[in-house]
């Protein structure tokens, strides 16, 4: 199976500032690119990886210092505790969808293929994109497209879907695209459809709430001077990471104690986001929208 080349690999490993005897977590195992590099630097240290997609099991490295935990990364605290781990030295998160998930036609993540609307990262989950399109109310659909796709015409999109589903069940990517075809701007077709599909994918996989939970618990289980390294690919993800690292909370508002000290427990290592070089973007198109933030536990 083809998986994407790890984005900003050297920068991520450098950001983790790895101690060879430490305990590290890769919460988005995927193709295993980042995990493989982390393992190269460990001697007696351990690496725990998380992924809810069963397809990644073919990438598991044969290394005594590695263990894959097959669950949503929002369960980071509970599953590590079951392994006897209460504190870790570093956490890496490469957010979003893998190239493999996009490229496997039957997974339904991409508008490039005529396939069934699925979009589940965990193929055992009950909710898929078809269920959302068939059962959500007009307001719920509009909220999904507005909140997760940042689409201003979200209500019109919802209207079109309701209109079509009253005639037939919307089962495929092509049916969905045809349903909203007269709303797709010719110049920005790919961007518009990407936003529509992104919104559905985020809702199917509960990505935003899962990210919030993982970030809060991740900060909590980091040791003092432990590093948190996060790659994000769109503004919804990056805003959450930025707020946690800069302000110490999800809402992005500065909170102070009685003495006027800012209440936060992370210090940013890179004040400015790290982005891919022109060379990397040319070699790996997925890196084009990547933003890397690194912070250290106080």
Residue whose tokens read 């050297």: 10
With beta carbons less than 8 A apart as the criterion, state whether 18 and 40 touch. Answer: no
pTM for this one? 0.94
Alpha-carbon distance of 287 to 5, in angstroms, equals 9
Residue 108 confidence (pLDDT): 82
Alpha-carbon distance of 124 to 144, in angstroms, equals 22
Name the token pair of 4.
């994407």
Secondary structure of residue 94 in the 3-state scheme: strand
User: How is the chain split among helix, strand and coil, in percent rounded to 5?
Assistant: 45, 15, 40
Vertex 210 angle, CA 253 and 106, to 5°: 135
Residue 99 confidence (pLDDT): 65
Residue 14 confidence (pLDDT): 98
Reading the chain (298 residues) residue by residue, the pLDDT tens digits are: 455 689 999 999 999 999 999 999 999 999 999 999 999 999 999 999 999 999 999 999 999 999 999 999 999 999 999 999 999 999 999 997 766 666 677 788 889 899 999 999 999 999 999 999 999 999 999 999 999 999 999 999 999 999 999 999 999 999 999 999 999 888 899 999 999 999 999 999 999 999 999 999 999 999 999 999 999 999 999 999 999 999 999 999 999 999 998 889 999 999 899 999 999 999 988 899 999 999 999 9
With beta carbons less than 8 A apart as the criterion, state whether 34 and 94 touch. Answer: yes
Residue 273 confidence (pLDDT): 97
Residue 288 phi, psi (nearest 5): -55, -45
With beta carbons less than 8 A apart as the criterion, state whether 94 and 231 touch. Answer: yes
Residue 83 phi, psi (nearest 5): -90, 5
Name the token pair of 100.
């493999």
Residue whose tokens read 């290394």: 63
Alpha-carbon distance of 114 to 131, in angstroms, equals 18
Residue 261 confidence (pLDDT): 87
Strands 291-297 and 266-268, by their bridges, are antiparallel
- The domains found in the chain, sorted by start residue, are 9-99+207-297 (3.40.50.150), 105-205 (1.10.150.170)
Name the token pair of 182.
């007269």
Tell me the longest C-alpha to C-alpha distance in the chain. Answer: 63
Strands 66-69 and 88-94, by their bridges, are unpaired
With beta carbons less than 8 A apart as the criterion, state whether 160 and 183 touch. Answer: yes
Q: Which residues of 169-183 are buried (b: 16+ CB within 10 A; e: fewer)?
A: ebbbbebbbebbeee
Residue 239 confidence (pLDDT): 97
């Amino acid at each position: 199976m083809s998986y994407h080349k790890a984005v900003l690999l050297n920068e991520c490993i450098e950001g983790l500032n790895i101690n060879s005897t430490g305990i590290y977590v890769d919460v988005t195992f995927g193709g295993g690119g980042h995990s493989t590099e982390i393992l190269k630097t460990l001697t007696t240290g351990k690496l725990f990886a998380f992924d809810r997609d069963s397809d990644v099991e073919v990438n598991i490295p044969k290394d005594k210092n590695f263990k894959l935990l097959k669950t949503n990364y929002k369960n980071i605290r509970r599953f590590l505790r079951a392994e006897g781990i209460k504190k870790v030295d570093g956490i890496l998160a490469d957010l979003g969808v893998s190239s493999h998930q996009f490229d496997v036609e039957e997974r339904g993540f991409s508008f490039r293929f005529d396939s069934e609307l699925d979009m589940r990262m965990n193929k055992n989950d009950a909710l898929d994109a078809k269920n959302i399109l068939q059962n959500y109310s007009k307001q719920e659909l509009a909220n999904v497209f507005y909140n997760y796709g940042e689409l201003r015409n979200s209500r019109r999109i919802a209207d079109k879907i309701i209109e079509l589903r009253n005639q037939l069940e919307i089962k495929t990517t092509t049916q969905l695209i045809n349903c909203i075809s007269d709303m797709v701007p010719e110049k920005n077709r790919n961007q518009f459809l990407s936003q529509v599909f992104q919104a559905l994918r985020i809702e199917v996989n509960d990505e935003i709430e899962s990210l919030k939970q993982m970030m809060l618990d991740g900060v909590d289980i980091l040791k003092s001077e432990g590093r948190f390294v996060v790659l994000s690919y769109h503004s919804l993800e990056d805003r959450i990471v930025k707020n946690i690292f800069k302000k110490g909370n999800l809402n992005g508002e500065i909170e102070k104690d009685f003495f006027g000290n800012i209440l936060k427990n992370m210090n940013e290592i890179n004040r400015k986001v790290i982005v891919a070089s022109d060379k990397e973007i040319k070699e790996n198109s997925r890196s084009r929208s990547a933003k890397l933030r690194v912070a250290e536990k106080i």
